[in-house]
């Protein structure tokens, strides 16, 4: 019977092509706009590293004096000082840790084959690659010795490798970051991320870096941040070492803790660490405060998906509702005009349920067509967003789950709009239309 | 088979009340062939619609095969209709989007008959009404008489036990009308109970039992002598 209903729906579609097309377009536009905003929202709120998002923790320490406040929701500083970062990184603990900083250089070769270009660079400790699931195509991460001796080495992405050396196997090649000559020790696949969760300081949707150098180079080569440096008290910074010793916040720190007991061990370490620092005159607050937030907590703490995005989605659903109200009107007219035919079907043995189902299939089909149009509209919309807001580049895309969702939403929305007209038409007294021609 | 006791039907429109039927009493036995006559507007179609459970009645009692129709819900009525009753409507009421074949197929689909069996019955019925060659035509491509024959084929295809026919020959020439009448007589012999509304006195006379509706009431009935299929009712 279902295939028969589809056949009937298709005939009905062809019988009033203009009205049908109008309805499909109305659904399509409504769904398209909804899917555009929903896709962006979906990408924004998607777990960037689902395999281990509950095992990676951003570390926050409350090193400000009593009474000092921060603009974060809980007044905890977002970043760490260099001293704390270095101490946590070098502590004798069995956990992988990533100390991170955003910087950048003029990248060039010792030849004129490639024009110099400015490139953001990530300073990272060697565990970072493993923690953030970066995969090597060639070579590997620098050694512990290279890290501790501040060796001028780098891991680069495949696309930078191709850009500089024309190959993704550039291990052993050297290039320049400003005046510093660095040797490639590893090439990774490009780091594809929708949300730059590991460093949300300078835009949540910026792209991850393509060049990585050892954390120890900060001190050895006096590499300063391209990100934020925030202070909370007056500290004169005359030479770079002053900054290293200061209470300013400018570094990110992550730790991988695989279970609750590991987390307790690390927390105990932090408490102990704060107590030790207190003796040395830092961490003057009465109550020691630190925070460990996993990836998703970190993202919501930063309010990556903010009210505006939610309002956008809500508005687009309201627009869809307006489209549906119009469709409801058109369906009502279309179905009621068919009441005589329904009367005949009822007289010939159709039950109300069968008549109802026939009409629901028909609106479902309109929904399916509308969903397909909706996907096209959404693609155009997302293309427009990508063109006008390059910042949203990686976000303004439809993944498979969204592509599947579009027709589903369209069909269910249409069925909702069609419920009343279908119910009305299946409830007409069959005899009313049978008396005369 | 059919028993109506004091059935009444009142239509309430904005200003007027119309008593389409009142104190309507009728008893129909299994296998009867009844011709219903009466002036226009007397309530014949209303009677058929009520008999076919297409509209509710205002008062009285209606038993079909011993089942009190007034007590059935819509689904049960639809089931009963689907199993037992075939209709030939006064206004043909073919579905304009469907070709002849598909129009005849409608009741068979609702009865859940398999495709092969449907095909057999449809072809046979269209053959019987002489329209087999036009199976693919749409209703609007046919004359009134041809449409009427399709409506007859549609009613016959379901092989109903109880056939309600509202002026089945109204648009047919006398030759065709007689052929249709013979068809009805044939299925009546095969066991179907038939109630047929007609204005054609000659056709009415061929039916074993005649009833007349006047002003919403059963006026009287005449039994034509010498009919082998004679039945006594009311
Ligand atoms: N839906 C309705 N609403 C109001 N009045 C109606 C309705 N249907 C029928 N009537 C009235 O009920 C009466 C009986 O109508 P019905 O159609 O049964 O007549 P009929 O005997 O079949 O006439 P005809 O021979 O012309 O077909 C008429 O007066 C008609 O106007
Ligand atoms: Mg009539």
- pLDDT tens digit sequence for B59-81: 999 999 999 998 998 888 888 88
Ligand closest to Cα of B19 equals: 1
Nearest CB neighbour to B45, from listed A8, A344, A435: A435
Is A347 in the same domain as A431? yes
Tell me if A273 is assigned to some domain. no
Q: Which sign does the torsion angle of CA B19, B25, B31, B34 carry?
A: negative
Nearest CB neighbour to B54, from listed A351, A354, A431: A431
Does the distance separating the beta carbons of A4 and B55 come in below 8 Å? no
pLDDT of residue B234: 38
Token pair for residue A249? 């916040």
| Residue nearest atom 30 in ligand 1 by C-alpha distance | B41
Tell me if A58 is assigned to some domain. no
DSSP A229-291: -B-SS-----SHHHHHHSS-B-BEEEEE--SHHHHHHHHHHHHHHHHHHHHTT----SS--EE
- Nearest by Cα to B125 from B90, B152, B97: B152
Distance from C-alpha of A276 to C-alpha of A290, rounded to nearest angstrom: 14
- Per-residue pLDDT tens for B140-198? 998 888 888 899 899 888 888 999 999 888 878 888 888 888 889 988 998 999 999 99
Residue of chain B nearest A15, judged by CA positions: B97
Does the distance separating the beta carbons of B97 and A349 come in below 8 Å? no
Domain that holds residue A170: 63-256
pLDDT of residue B222: 54
pLDDT of residue B221: 56
- What's the whole-number average pLDDT of chain A? 91
pLDDT of residue A136: 97
- What's the whole-number average pLDDT of chain B? 87
The tally of domains found in chain A comes to 2
Domain range annotation of chain B: 2-223
Is A35 in the same domain as A131? no
Tell me if A262 is assigned to some domain. no
Token pair for residue A302? 């930063």
Which residues in A lie closer than 8 A to residue B89 (C-beta atoms)? 344, 347, 434
CA dihedral A218, A221, A227, A228 (to 10 degrees): 70
Distance from C-alpha of A432 to C-alpha of A422, rounded to nearest angstrom: 18
Token pair for residue A1? 């019977």
Weakest-pLDDT range from A90-104, A386-400, A403-417: A386-400
Q: End-to-end distance of chain B based on CA atoms, in angstroms?
A: 12
C-alpha distances in angstroms, A40 versus A34, A49, A383, A384, A399? 10, 18, 12, 12, 10
Checking if the pLDDT of A118 tops 50, the result is yes
Which residues in B lie closer than 8 A to residue A348 (C-beta atoms)? 87, 106-107, 110, 154, 158
Does the distance separating the beta carbons of B106 and A348 come in below 8 Å? yes
Does the distance separating the beta carbons of A349 and B78 come in below 8 Å? yes
Where is A406: in which H helix or E strand?
A: helix A400-426
Tell me if A301 is assigned to some domain. no
Distance from C-alpha of B24 to C-alpha of A259, rounded to nearest angstrom: 85
Q: Is B66 exposed, middle or buried (0-12, 13-18, 19+ CB in 10 A)?
A: exposed
Token pair for residue B76? 């049960």
Query: What count of other Cβ atoms lies within 10 Å of the Cβ of residue A181?
Result: 11
Tell me if A281 is assigned to some domain. no
Residues A433/A393, Cβ–Cβ less than 8 Å: no
Does the distance separating the beta carbons of A354 and B107 come in below 8 Å? no
Highest mean pLDDT among A342-351, A380-389, B120-129: B120-129
Distance from C-alpha of A298 to C-alpha of A49, rounded to nearest angstrom: 13
Residues listed for chain B: 234
Which residues in A lie closer than 8 A to residue B18 (C-beta atoms)? none
Which residues in A lie closer than 8 A to residue B82 (C-beta atoms)? 349-351
Sheet holding B59-64, edge to edge: B17-28, B2-12, B59-64, B67-68
CA A204 to ligand 2 centroid distance, Å: 76
Q: Is B91 in the pocket of ligand 1 (CB under 6 A)?
A: no
Is A336 in the same domain as A209? no
Which residues in A lie closer than 8 A to residue B92 (C-beta atoms)? 437
Task: Tell whether B107 is within 8 A of chain A (Cβ).
Answer: yes
Residue A129 banded pLDDT, cuts 50, 70, 90: very high
Is A32 in the same domain as A148? no
Is A158 in the same domain as A36? no
Is A15 in the same domain as A99? no
- Nearest by Cα to B6 from B44, B50, B62, B70: B62
Does the distance separating the beta carbons of B97 and A429 come in below 8 Å? no
Residues A319/A402, Cβ–Cβ less than 8 Å: no
Q: Is B37 in the pocket of ligand 1 (CB under 6 A)?
A: no
Q: Which atom of ligand 1 is nearest to the CA of B47?
A: 18
Distance from C-alpha of B123 to C-alpha of B134, rounded to nearest angstrom: 11
Q: Is B79 exposed, middle or buried (0-12, 13-18, 19+ CB in 10 A)?
A: middle
Query: What count of other Cβ atoms lies within 10 Å of the Cβ of residue A102?
Result: 22
Give A103 or A235, the one with higher predicted confidence.
A103
Residue A437 banded pLDDT, cuts 50, 70, 90: very low
Q: Is B110 in the pocket of ligand 1 (CB under 6 A)?
A: no
Residues A134/A141, Cβ–Cβ less than 8 Å: no
Calculate the CA B127 to chain-centre distance: 20
CA distance B90 to chain A (A): 6
Q: Is B217 in the pocket of ligand 1 (CB under 6 A)?
A: no
Checking if the pLDDT of B219 tops 70, the result is yes
Is A40 in the same domain as A111? no
Task: Tell whether A15 is within 8 A of chain B (Cβ).
Answer: yes
Tell me if A289 is assigned to some domain. no
Interface A–B counts its CB contacts (< 8 A) at 84
Task: Tell whether B11 is within 8 A of chain A (Cβ).
Answer: no
- Where are any strands of DSSP class E within chain B? 2-12, 17-28, 33-37, 59-64, 67-68, 85-88, 162-166, 193-197, 209-214, 217-223
Tell me if A261 is assigned to some domain. no
Task: Tell whether A281 is within 8 A of chain B (Cβ).
Answer: no
Task: Tell whether B97 is within 8 A of chain A (Cβ).
Answer: yes
CA distance A354 to chain B (A): 8
Residues A352/B76, Cβ–Cβ less than 8 Å: no
Token pair for residue A223? 């590499």
Task: Tell whether B3 is within 8 A of chain A (Cβ).
Answer: no
Q: Can you tell me whether residue A293 is helix, strand or coil?
A: strand
CA A430 to ligand 1 centroid distance, Å: 15
pLDDT of residue B80: 87
Distance from C-alpha of A77 to C-alpha of A249, rounded to nearest angstrom: 7
Q: Which atom of ligand 1 is nearest to the CA of A435?
A: 17
Is A246 in the same domain as A353? no
Q: Is B43 in the pocket of ligand 1 (CB under 6 A)?
A: yes
Classify residue A124 by its DSSP letter: E
In terms of CATH architecture, what is B2-223? 3-Layer(aba) Sandwich (3.40)
Distance from C-alpha of B33 to C-alpha of B123, rounded to nearest angstrom: 26
Q: Is B20 in the pocket of ligand 1 (CB under 6 A)?
A: yes
Task: Tell whether A334 is within 8 A of chain B (Cβ).
Answer: no
Where is A117: in which H helix or E strand?
A: strand A117-124
Token pair for residue B28? 């129909």
Is A7 in the same domain as A80? no
- Per-residue pLDDT tens for A63-87? 999 888 888 889 999 999 999 999 9
DSSP A209-240: PSEEEETTHHHHHTPPPSS--B-SS-----SH
Which residues in B lie closer than 8 A to residue A353 (C-beta atoms)? 75
Tell me if A115 is assigned to some domain. yes
pLDDT of residue A15: 87
pLDDT of residue A25: 93
Does the distance separating the beta carbons of B78 and A348 come in below 8 Å? no
> Which residues have CB under 8 Å from A424's CB, separation 6+?
A332, A335, A336
Please give the angle made by the CA atoms of A36, A40 and A45, to the nearest 5 degrees. 145
Q: End-to-end distance of chain A based on CA atoms, in angstroms?
A: 28
Query: What does the pLDDT average to over A293-305?
Result: 91
| pLDDT-above-70 percentage for chain B | 94
Highest mean pLDDT among A4-18, A28-42, A258-272, A298-312: A258-272
Does the distance separating the beta carbons of B96 and A12 come in below 8 Å? no
pLDDT of residue B176: 82
Does the distance separating the beta carbons of B107 and A429 come in below 8 Å? no
Token pair for residue A127? 């565990």
Where is A99: in which H helix or E strand?
A: strand A97-108
Task: Tell whether A1 is within 8 A of chain B (Cβ).
Answer: yes
Pinpoint the alpha helices (H) of A91-141.
127-131
Checking if the pLDDT of A391 tops 70, the result is no
Give the HSE-up count for residue A399: Cα atoms under 13 Å, Cβ half-sphere: 10
Query: What count of other Cβ atoms lies within 10 Å of the Cβ of residue A393?
Result: 15
Stated pTM of the model: 0.73
Is A205 in the same domain as A315? no
pLDDT of residue B87: 87
Q: Can you tell me whether residue A319 is helix, strand or coil?
A: helix
Checking if the pLDDT of B1 tops 80, the result is yes
Is A209 in the same domain as A351? no
Q: Count Cβ neighbours within 10 Å for each residue of A43-70 and write b for 16 or more, e otherwise.
A: bbbeebbeeebebbbbbbbbbbeeeeeb
Picking from A256, A280, A298, the residue at the C-terminal end of a domain is A256
pLDDT of residue B226: 43
- The structure tokens 């704390």 sit at A84
Distance from C-alpha of A222 to C-alpha of B56, rounded to nearest angstrom: 94
Does the distance separating the beta carbons of A429 and B54 come in below 8 Å? yes
Is A82 in the same domain as A221? yes
| Residue nearest atom 28 in ligand 1 by C-alpha distance | B41
């Amino acid at each position: 019977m279902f295939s028969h209903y589809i056949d009937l729906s298709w005939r009905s579609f062809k019988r009033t092509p203009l009205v049908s097309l109008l309805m499909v377009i109305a659904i399509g536009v409504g769904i398209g706009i909804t899917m555009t905003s929903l896709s962006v929202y979906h990408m924004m709120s998607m777990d960037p590293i689902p395999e281990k998002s509950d095992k990676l923790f951003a570390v926050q320490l409350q090193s400000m004096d009593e009474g000092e406040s921060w603009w974060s929701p809980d007044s905890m500083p977002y970043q760490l000082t260099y001293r704390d970062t270095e101490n946590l990184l070098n502590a004798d603990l069995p956990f992988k840790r990533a100390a991170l900083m955003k910087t950048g250089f003029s990248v060039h070769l010792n030849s004129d084959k490639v024009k110099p270009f400015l490139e953001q660079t990530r300073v990272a400790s060697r565990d970072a690659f493993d923690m953030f699931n970066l995969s090597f195509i060639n070579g590997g991460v620098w050694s512990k010795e290279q890290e501790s001796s501040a060796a001028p080495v780098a891991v680069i992405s495949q696309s930078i490798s191709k850009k500089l050396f024309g190959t993704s196997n550039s291990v052993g090649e050297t290039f320049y970051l400003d005046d510093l000559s660095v040797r490639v020790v590893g090439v990774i696949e490009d780091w594809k991320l929708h949300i730059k969760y590991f460093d949300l300081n300078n835009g949540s949707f910026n792209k991850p870096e393509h060049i990585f150098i050892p954390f120890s180079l900060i001190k050895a080569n006096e590499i300063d941040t391209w990100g934020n440096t925030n202070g909370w008290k007056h500290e004169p910074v005359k030479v770079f070492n002053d900054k290293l010793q200061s209470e300013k916040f400018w570094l990110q720190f992550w730790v991988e803790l695989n279970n609750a007991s590991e987390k307790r061990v690390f927390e105990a370490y932090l408490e102990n660490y704060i107590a030790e620092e207190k003796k040395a005159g830092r961490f003057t607050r009465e109550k020691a405060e630190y925070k460990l937030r996993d990836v998703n907590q970190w993202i919501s703490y930063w309010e990556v998906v903010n009210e505006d995005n939610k309002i956008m989605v809500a508005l687009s659903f309201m627009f869809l509702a307006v489209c549906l109200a119009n469709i409801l009107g058109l369906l009502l007219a279309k179905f009621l005009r068919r009441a005589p035919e329904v009367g005949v079907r009822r007289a010939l043995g159709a039950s109300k349920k069968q008549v109802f189902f026939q009409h629901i299939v028909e609106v479902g089909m309109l929904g399916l067509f509308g969903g397909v149009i909706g996907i096209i509209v959404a693609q155009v919309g997302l293309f427009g967003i990508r063109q006008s807001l390059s910042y949203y580049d990686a976000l303004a895309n439809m993944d498979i789950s969204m592509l599947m969702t579009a027709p589903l939403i369209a069909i269910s929305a249409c069925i909702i709009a069609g419920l009343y007209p279908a119910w009305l038409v299946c409830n007409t007294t069959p005899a009313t239309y049978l008396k005369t021609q | 088979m059919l028993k109506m006791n004091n059935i009444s039907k009142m239509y309430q429109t904005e200003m007027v009340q119309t008593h389409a039927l009142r104190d309507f009493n009728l008893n129909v036995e299994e296998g009867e062939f009844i011709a219903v006559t009466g002036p226009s507007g007397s309530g014949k179609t209303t009677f058929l619609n009520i008999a076919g459970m297409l509209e509710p009645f205002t008062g009285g009692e209606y038993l079909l095969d011993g089942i009190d129709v007034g007590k059935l819900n819509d689904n049960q009525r639809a089931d009963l209709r689907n199993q037992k009753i075939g209709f030939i409507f006064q206004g043909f009421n073919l579905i304009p989007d469907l070709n002849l074949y598909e129009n005849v197929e409608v009741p068979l689909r609702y009865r859940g008959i398999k495709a092969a069996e449907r095909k057999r019955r449809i072809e046979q019925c269209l053959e019987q009404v002489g329209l087999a060659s036009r199976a693919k035509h749409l209703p609007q491509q046919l004359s009134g008489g041809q449409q009427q024959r399709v409506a007859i084929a549609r009613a016959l295809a379901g092989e109903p036990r109880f056939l309600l026919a509202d002026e089945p020959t109204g648009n047919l020439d006398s030759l065709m009308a007689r052929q249709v009448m013979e068809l009805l007589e044939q299925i009546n012999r095969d066991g179907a109970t038939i109630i047929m509304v007609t204005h054609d006195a000659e056709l009415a006379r061929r039916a074993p039992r005649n009833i007349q509706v006047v002003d919403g009431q059963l006026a009287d009935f005449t039994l034509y002598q010498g009919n082998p299929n004679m039945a006594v009712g009311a």
